[in-house]
Amino acid sequence: MSLKKKLHPLSPKQFTGSVELIPPPPHFVEFIDTERLWGFPMRQLEQFVLEENPQHQNKRTSPPDQLLLVYPEARVFLRGWRLELMIGPLVSGRIARVHAENHLGTLILDEAWVSEIHVVPLDSSRLSASPQPMPAKPQ
């Protein structure tokens, strides 16, 4: 048995003590669009579809990939580059937050790049960004 100090795959730093704590897996995945932050329970992802972005139309600056995530309450559309690289971490519950960055920066070849997030609630009254006041009951 080797006594070398090793880095646990989930630990942000070198293990140097006698007890190593790793961060707990997230319970929600967060999607940050242009207007708000949406959160959906990890375990409620029902299905996903990776396909060509229907709006791409062979434009170099338009994202070629679209990843549709189906939750009971909403459909989440992610558009970007190399989105297939998100599928493994997504289904294993390792993605905690997805932020859209529409201005292309330095593309890292082994990472996905999300440029657009569109969340479509299935029941807008349940997922409203601002709660509507309840009407007073007549007496």
pLDDT at 34: 83
pLDDT at 10: 61
Apex 116 CA angle, 97 and 121, nearest 5 = 75
Task: Give the residue extent of every domain in the chain.
Answer: 36-121
The tens place of each residue's pLDDT in the chain, 139 residues long, gives 454 556 656 666 666 667 777 788 899 999 998 889 999 999 999 999 999 999 888 887 789 999 999 999 999 999 999 999 999 999 999 999 999 987 666 666 788 999 999 999 998 665 554 444 444 444 4
Q: What is the rounded CA–CA span in Å between residue 28 and residue 134?
A: 29
Provide the whole-model pTM.
Answer: 0.72
Check residue 96 and give its pLDDT.
93
Query: CA-CA distance, 126 to 38, in Å (whole number)?
Result: 13
What distance in Å separates the CA atoms of residue 128 and residue 135, rounded to the nearest whole number? Answer: 17
What is the predicted pLDDT for the residue at 107?
62
Q: Residue 132: what pLDDT?
A: 43
Residues 6+ apart with CB under 8 A from 78: 31, 66, 67, 68, 69, 86, 98, 100, 114, 116, 117
Q: What is the pLDDT of residue 133?
A: 40
Structure-token match 């997805």, residue found: 98
